[in-house]
């Protein structure tokens, strides 16, 4: 059974949220729609999920959302994509984009010069720029906030789960250390860097031994090729830790071709809640996937909508909001699959989570983590939409 952290919410709050009346999707009670541009850094399955969930939330809130995708997948083309959006005659009111190494400050400046407000999301501000940029609304008033998952904690949680799984499979009662290989994303990804730091945190007690970490550029085939070489070099490790599900699936392919059985000889885990990864969990090949951050775009839109309508999300010292990942394993797979069904996103009325539409929650503002819990809780209890 999926156990959300929202189980400790007052029953009255849960009643208020679930009893909110249904509405016609896309309707707005506040005049002209807010125009928002969301910049997707690539066209991967994960970012398609981000876009799809964001569109469902935007439709409920009466937001005119346009998703722009960077098909070249690098920080410079991402900056160019923003420039093209800002150069349009019909500029958006707000832009949502992911913080990338060495271009985030420049992108924020570009938006400010164009008179467009910004919410950054999905990854922390790169360390190389965070000191110079400071916090949202301090030196750049148009940068109204930042919303991101705790990637460093996720890296540690993933390692801890895989270590426990490897121990449970071990037939050697005297074994004291378990060897791991690690697949990271790209050198310019703050998400990958933070998850890598989480892996380092997990190494502190010396039970887990990291043989080698390699960059596979978020690419499944590259991950398969590098895993194939690593399992030969290190004589079949106990664990494959991956910063994404796509790379974890590539590792599974390499393990199988190398004569190993994932989930038996080697435990594999990733991050993203990709549908194929959940199928691999069902088959026993993938031990775990951490996720729910695909809903981060929808969360950011909800906060932006409330801000625009006079219910500012500010309150933390630096106007940044953080939420945690959730674990998907065989124990809660049915519930997580329901959360991932795009047709179910349309059955939930996301207005009930906005104080603009729901006066009953104006004095009970929810944190980013609690809002993500509510997204999941309501999708889990929602009646399945027809296929």
pLDDT in tens, 75-130: 999 999 999 999 999 999 999 999 998 999 999 999 999 999 999 999 999 888 88
Q: Which one is the CATH code of 5-149+294-326+344-381: 2.60.40.10, 3.30.750.210, 1.20.20.10, 3.40.50.2300? A: 3.40.50.2300
Strands 288-291 and 239-242 come out as unpaired
Homologous superfamily of 152-271 in CATH? Answer: Response regulator (3.40.50.2300)
Model confidence band, residue 384 (pLDDT cutoffs 50, 70, 90): low
Question: How much is the average pLDDT of 15-38?
Answer: 59
Confidence of residue 8 (pLDDT cuts 50, 70, 90): very low
The pLDDT of residue 188 is 79
The pLDDT tens digits for 306-330 are 999 999 988 665 688 999 999 999 9
Across 150-167, average pLDDT:
97
Please compute the mean of the pLDDT values over residues 356-360 and round it to a whole number: 92
What residues pair up with 210 in beta bridges, in sequence order? 180
Q: What is the pLDDT of residues 178-229, one digit of tens each?
A: 999 999 998 878 899 999 999 999 999 889 999 999 999 999 999 999 999 9
Report the pLDDT value the prediction gives residue 1, as an integer from 0 to 100: 33
Query: Does this chain's domain 5-149+294-326+344-381 share its CATH topology with 152-271?
Result: yes
**CB–CB of 311/355 below 8 Å?**
yes
- Residue 382: pLDDT above 80? no
How far the first Cα of the chain sits from its last, in Å, is: 24
Flag whether pLDDT at 358 surpasses 60.
yes
What is the pLDDT, as a whole number, of residue 363?
86
Q: Which residues contact 345 (CB under 8 A, 6 or more apart)?
A: 52, 53, 56, 379
Q: Report the pLDDT value the prediction gives residue 10, as an integer from 0 to 100.
A: 35
pLDDT value at residue 87 = 97
Q: In terms of Cα–Cα distance, which of 240, 127, 244, 228 is closest to 185?
A: 244
Q: How far apart are CA 287 and CA 339, in angstroms?
A: 19
| pLDDT at residue 244 greater than cutoff 80 | yes
- Domain definitions of the chain by residue range: 5-149+294-326+344-381, 152-271
Residues above pLDDT 70, as percent of the chain: 90
């Amino acid at each position: 059974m999926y156990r959300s952290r929202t189980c400790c919410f007052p029953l009255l709050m849960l009643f208020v949220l679930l009893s909110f009346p249904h509405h016609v999707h896309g309707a707005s009670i506040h005049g002209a729609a807010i125009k928002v541009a969301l910049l997707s850094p690539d066209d991967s399955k994960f970012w398609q999920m981000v876009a799809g969930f964001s569109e469902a939330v935007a439709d409920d809130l009466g937001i005119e959302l346009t998703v722009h995708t960077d098909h070249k997948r690098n920080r410079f083309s991402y900056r160019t994509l923003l420039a093209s959006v800002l150069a349009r005659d019909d500029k958006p009111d707000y832009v949502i984009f992911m913080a990338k190494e060495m271009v985030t400050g420049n992108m924020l400046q570009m938006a400010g010069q164009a008179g467009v407000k910004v919410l950054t999301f999905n990854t922390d501000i790169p360390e190389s720029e965070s000191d110079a940029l400071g916090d949202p609304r301090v030196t750049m008033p148009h940068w109204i906030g930042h919303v991101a998952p705790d990637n460093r904690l996720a890296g540690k949680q993933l390692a801890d789960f895989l270590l426990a799984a490897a121990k449970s499979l071990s037939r050697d009662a005297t074994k004291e250390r378990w060897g791991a290989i690690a697949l990271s994303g790209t050198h310019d990804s703050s998400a990958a860097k933070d998850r890598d730091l989480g892996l380092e945190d997990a190494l502190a007690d010396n039970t887990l031994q990291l043989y080698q970490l390699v960059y596979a550029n978020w690419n499944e085939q590259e991950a398969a090729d590098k895993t194939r070489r690593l399992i030969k070099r290190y004589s079949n490790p106990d664990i494959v830790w991956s910063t994404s599900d796509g790379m974890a699936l590539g590792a599974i392919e390499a393990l199988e071709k190398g004569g190993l059985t994932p989930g038996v000889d080697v435990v594999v885990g990733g991050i993203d809640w990709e549908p194929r990864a959940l199928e691999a969990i069902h088959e026993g090949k993938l031990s775990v996937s951490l996720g729910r951050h695909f809903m981060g775009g929808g969360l950011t839109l909800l906060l932006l909508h409330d801000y625009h309508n006079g219910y500012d999300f500010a309150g933390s010292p630096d106007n940044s909001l953080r939420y945690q990942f959730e674990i998907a394993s065989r124990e809660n797979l049915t519930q997580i699959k329901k959360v991932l069904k795009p047709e179910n996103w349309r059955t939930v009325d996301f207005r009930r989570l906005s104080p603009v539409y729901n006066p009953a929650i104006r004095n009970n503002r929810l944190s980013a983590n609690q809002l993500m819990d509510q997204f999941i809780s309501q999708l889990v209890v929602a009646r399945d939409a027809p296929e």
